A = this chain, B = another copy of it.
Amino acid sequence: MSIQSVQPAEFSPRQSAVLAEALRLLVEGGDKALTTAGLARAASCSKESLYKWFGDRDGLLAAMISFQQSKVRTVERSGERLTAEVLRDHLEVFARDLLEVLSGDVSLALNRLAIGQSSRDGSKLGRMLVEHGRRQLDRRAKGLIDAGKRAGLLRFSDGDQAYHTLYGLIVSDLHVRMLLGEPGLKDNGIQAKRAVEAFLTLCGAQGTSTSGTAATGR
């Protein structure tokens, strides 16, 4: 298989271009800026094509989510044997990646869109976002901490609980604040380090945590 074939061929190049333009409109103008007429004008296509390809406006929104998620594939790097340092490094990389994804323009815009629609469409878009969008991140972290447990580096009873602890330590209320429009974004590198430090203090086997004093939160 070629490199390109990994990308789902769900959308033709023309459709992809239109969806990319739709995302651009959504990011810069929000929900209201994404009108069928406006998209048709901006993407130089006809409204009729939009309805032919995506059915209706909701179909377009769903396609936008699907399209965006087909673009951001996370790299699953593994193979190294796990040591305490390697585990810590991977956790910190994961934390930084997570913060970067959550604070991305497109991610924020799509989450805002899905949240705005959640009252009307039975949270269909919301389910799409959490199911297909963050599941990759979730699985990657889940695999990481499971491997940490198998290697005797982490100690916890429930993997899901441990992951949600990690997630909470990393993100805290940053995601909601950003969704609400708060501009100031703390340096995610330091935040990631602190979160992993706290996580290892909680779930790490003794000796995994290097610093003696407990490091806390963002």
A interface, CB within 8 angstroms of B = 29-33, 109, 111-112, 114-116, 118-120, 122-123, 126-127, 129-130, 155-158, 160-173, 175-177, 179-182, 194-195, 198, 201-203, 213-214, 216-218
Q: Can you give 8 contacting A-B residue pairs, CB < 8 Å? A: A112-B119, A157-B216, A158-B217, A162-B216, A168-B172, A168-B217, A173-B175, A202-B216
Do B30 and A180 have beta carbons less than 8 Å apart?
Answer: no
Of the listed residues A118, A166, A201, the one surrounded by the most CB atoms of chain B closer than 10 A to its CB is A118
Do B180 and A114 have beta carbons less than 8 Å apart?
Answer: yes
Known contacts A30-B119, A181-B126: A216-B165 contact under CB 8 Å: yes
Do A31 and B116 have beta carbons less than 8 Å apart?
Answer: yes
Do B130 and A177 have beta carbons less than 8 Å apart?
Answer: yes
Do A180 and B111 have beta carbons less than 8 Å apart?
Answer: yes
Across-interface contacts of A170 in B (CB, < 8 A): 168
Q: Which of B112, B120, B164, B175 contacts A32, CB < 8 Å?
A: B120
Which B-chain residue is minimally distant from A217 (CB atoms)? B165
CB proximity of A53 to chain B, nearest CB, Å: 25
Do B168 and A31 have beta carbons less than 8 Å apart?
Answer: no
Do B216 and A158 have beta carbons less than 8 Å apart?
Answer: yes
Known contacts A112-B116, A182-B123: A175-B172 contact under CB 8 Å: no
Do B156 and A164 have beta carbons less than 8 Å apart?
Answer: no
CA distance A205 to B146 in the complex (A): 29
Across-interface contacts of A115 in B (CB, < 8 A): 112, 115-116, 179-181
Q: Which of B29, B164, B173 contacts A164, CB < 8 Å?
A: B173
Do B182 and A111 have beta carbons less than 8 Å apart?
Answer: no
Do B175 and A203 have beta carbons less than 8 Å apart?
Answer: no
Across-interface contacts of A127 in B (CB, < 8 A): 180-182
Do A171 and B169 have beta carbons less than 8 Å apart?
Answer: no
Question: A115-B180, A129-B180, A168-B195 known; 15 other A-B pairs, CB under 8 Å?
Answer: A109-B119, A112-B115, A114-B181, A118-B179, A118-B181, A123-B180, A156-B214, A156-B216, A161-B218, A164-B217, A164-B218, A165-B216, A175-B176, A176-B176, A179-B179
